[in-house]
């Protein structure tokens, strides 16, 4: 390398025009020399001596030609990289090192970034519904200050398991978040809340009063997959949009599962108001029943006795069927008649309960079932010895008891406010195959008894003079067959309504 006193630096056949060393500020001897980064790097020019020694070498740095075919121009580069290349060529100049940039991990970058969850909203005239798409949320921080909803929670969202937060300034004023503890302190009620500990009766009464009169203005419900928020509006009217800013936030979208137009929301509001008024009227009409516990005890004991009676019949018939086989068909009446007589005679209590409104059972289906079974049991089977040894008696008794061993325990548990879902489903479903089969078995027994009544003349009578006509009881049995199938239709319709009320399709609630 040749360094001259002129205003240039020559190296490897190139020279760098510039001030002489020692005269230019910032350019010094080797070892402490440096070239400042602020001014632009001068353009490299070819050295004549180098071109004479190497004619084939143009002496230019790598660059690009102009569109008009002119000479190459130096390729624009980062000043720092050009200076480092120049230092390596000169061998004596020292340039400052590149500034060290701290490496940031993705986790650290994620912590500094504010994550917002997906939020879906819908509204009614009185309230706003928000659904936050976060799963596994335990203790969210939710508050309303100066008409702005603040939400912060740790959960699993679109960006994984992190802390998510968002803020929404509502278009219209909403009811601020009230402090139940402050209201209780105003009423001189002390709260000792440790892990949601129990409150005394006075505290519970005040909390119910707060909810009833609108102190519970911001409520949230945590599920495994989302967080549901309900915010009460100060004025009951429809909003054009949710937020005060006209541009919708990117994380906010309509909740089409709850979305209703303004007209539909008004109809829903009217329906709720009518339902509330009707409920108040019904409650005012129903007097306070001071014998409620006595009624429950009475109904529980009645259903328990009936359950035990029909269970005894069903179990004994099942055991005899497995032991004796078909031979058990012909002596069913002689072994089970006494218990069946007791259970069917006791069933008259159900008619009394329906007439006195002790139960909500309709009177007509109860009468049809009671008289229909007793005609078969006492008249058709019990009064004819020829019928008592027929196989149809087994099927009549077995089908009756199979239905009742599920119906009576269901009512028995309902008296003590216990619901077993499997038993409930069986009670409302097993009648579908068994009830028609029971009516068919009853009809077969009536048809088999008609010739016996005609031959024996039992229960037949003669009309007085001048008619002198003998009326056979078999004629009434033929009429009874028609009434039997009409009764089947009435009871089947009643049971179908009960099942549809319990398990049928319901209108989806949107509140």
Neighbours of 195 (CB within 10 A): 4
Separation of alpha carbons 355 and 361, rounded Å: 9
Our CA angle for 393, 398, 402, nearest 5°, is 155
Contact 421, 379 (CB under 8 A): no
Separation of alpha carbons 264 and 170, rounded Å: 23
Neighbours of 389 (CB within 10 A): 14
* Tokens of residue 293, six digits: 């516990």
Separation of alpha carbons 88 and 106, rounded Å: 36
Catalytic residue among 215, 298, 330, 435: 435
Query: Is 442 one of the annotated active-site residues of the chain?
Result: yes
Task: Tell me the Cα Rg of the chain.
Answer: 47
Instruction: Report the candidate in 380, 415, 395, 401 with the shortest Cα–Cα distance to residue 293.
Output: 415
209: three-class secondary structure by DSSP: helix
98 Cα distance to chain centroid:
58
Catalytic residue among 127, 203, 350, 442: 442
Contact 496, 436 (CB under 8 A): no
- The secondary structure of 316-366 as a DSSP string is HHHHHHHHHGGGGGTTHHHHHHHHHHHHHHHTHHHHHHHHTTSS---HHHH
502 Cα distance to chain centroid:
19
Separation of alpha carbons 381 and 390, rounded Å: 9
Catalytic residues: 435, 442
């Amino acid at each position: 390398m040749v360094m001259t006193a002129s205003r240039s630096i020559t190296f490897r056949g190139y020279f760098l025009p510039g001030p002489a060393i020692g005269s230019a500020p910032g350019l010094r001897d080797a070892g402490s020399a440096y070239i400042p980064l602020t001014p632009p790097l001068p353009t490299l020019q070819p050295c004549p001596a180098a071109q004479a020694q190497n004619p084939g070498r143009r002496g230019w740095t790598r660059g690009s030609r102009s569109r008009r075919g002119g000479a190459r121009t130096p390729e624009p580069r980062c000043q720092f990289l050009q200076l480092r290349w120049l230092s390596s060529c000169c061998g004596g100049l020292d340039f400052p090192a590149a500034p060290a940039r701290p490496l940031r991990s993705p986790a650290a970058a994620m912590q500094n970034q504010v994550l917002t969850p997906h939020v879906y909203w819908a509204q009614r005239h009185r309230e706003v519904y928000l659904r936050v798409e976060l799963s596994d949320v335990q203790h969210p921080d939710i508050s309303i200050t100066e008409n702005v909803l603040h939400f912060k929670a740790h959960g699993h969202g679109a960006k994984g398991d992190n802390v998510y937060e968002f803020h929404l300034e509502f278009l219209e004023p909403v009811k601020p978040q009230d402090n139940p503890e402050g209201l209780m302190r105003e009423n001189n009620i002390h709260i000792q809340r440790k892990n949601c500990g129990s409150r005394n009766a006075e505290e519970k009464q005040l909390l119910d009063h707060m909810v009833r009169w609108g102190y519970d203005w911001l409520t949230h419900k945590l599920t495994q997959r989302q967080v549901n928020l309900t915010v009460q509006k100060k004025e009951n009217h429809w909003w054009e949009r949710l937020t005060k800013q006209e541009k919708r936030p990117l994380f906010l979208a309509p909740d089409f599962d709850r979305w209703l137009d303004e007209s539909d929301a008004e109809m829903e509001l009217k329906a709720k108001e009518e339902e509330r008024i009707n409920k108040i009227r019904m409650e005012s009409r129903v007097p306070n029943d001071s014998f409620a516990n006595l009624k429950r005890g009475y109904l529980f004991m009645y259903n328990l006795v009936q359950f035990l009676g029909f269970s005894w019949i069903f179990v004994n018939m099942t055991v005899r069927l497995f032991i004796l086989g078909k031979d058990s068909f012909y002596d069913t009446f002689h072994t089970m008649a006494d218990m069946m007589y007791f259970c069917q005679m006791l069933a008259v209590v159900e008619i009394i309960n329906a007439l006195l409104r002790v139960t909500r059972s309709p009177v007509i289906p109860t009468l049809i079932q009671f008289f229909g079974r007793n005609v078969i049991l006492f008249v058709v089977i019990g009064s004819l010895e020829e019928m008592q040894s027929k196989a149809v008696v087994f099927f009549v008794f077995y089908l009756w008891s199979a239905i009742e061993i599920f119906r009576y325990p269901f009512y028995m548990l309902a008296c003590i406010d216990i619901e077993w879902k499997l038993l409930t489903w069986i009670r409302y479903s097993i009648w579908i195959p068994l009830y028609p089969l029971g009516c068919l078995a009853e009809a077969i027994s009536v048809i088999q008894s008609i010739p016996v009544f005609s031959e024996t003349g039992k229960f037949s009578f003669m009309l007085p003079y001048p008619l002198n006509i003998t009326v056979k009881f078999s004629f009434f049995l033929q009429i009874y067959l028609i009434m039997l199938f009409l009764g089947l239709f009435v009871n089947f319709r009643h049971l179908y309504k009960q099942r549809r009320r319990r398990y049928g399709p319901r209108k989806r609630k949107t509140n």
